Amino acid sequence: MWIFLKGAPERVTNRCTKILINGKEEEFTEAHQKNVENANKMFGGMGERVLAFARCKLDPSVYTKNPSYEFNMSKWKDFQMDKQRDDSVPGWFPLMDLTLVGLVSLNDPPRIRVDMSVNKCRAAGIKVIMVTGDQPPTAAAIAHKVNIIRNPEMEFDKLMAANPGMTEKEALAKCQSIVIHGDKLAKFH
The fold of 2-106 is Calcium-transporting ATPase, cytoplasmic domain N (3.40.1110)
What local confidence, expressed as pLDDT, does residue 134 receive? 84
The pair phi, psi for residue 106, each rounded to 5°, is -115, 135
Domain definitions of the chain by residue range: 2-106, 114-186
Strands 16-21 and 24-27 come out as antiparallel
Q: Please, which pLDDT band fits residue 42 given cuts at 50, 70 and 90?
A: very high
Using alpha carbons only, give the angle 159, 163, 165 rounded to the nearest 5 degrees.
Answer: 130
pLDDT tens profile 155-167 = 999 999 999 999 9
Kindly state the DSSP code that residue 62 receives in the 8-state scheme.
Answer: H
What local confidence, expressed as pLDDT, does residue 59 receive? 78
The pair phi, psi for residue 38, each rounded to 5°, is -65, -45
pLDDT tens profile 123-135 = 999 999 999 888 8
**Res. 46: pLDDT tops 70:** yes
Q: How many Å apart are CA 189 and CA 166, to the nearest integer?
A: 26
pLDDT tens profile 63-93 = 777 666 677 666 666 655 554 555 566 667 7
What local confidence, expressed as pLDDT, does residue 81 receive? 55
What local confidence, expressed as pLDDT, does residue 75 receive? 63
> For the chain, first and last CA: distance in Å?
41
Strands 98-106 and 16-21 come out as parallel
Which carries the bigger pLDDT value, residue 58 or residue 16? 16
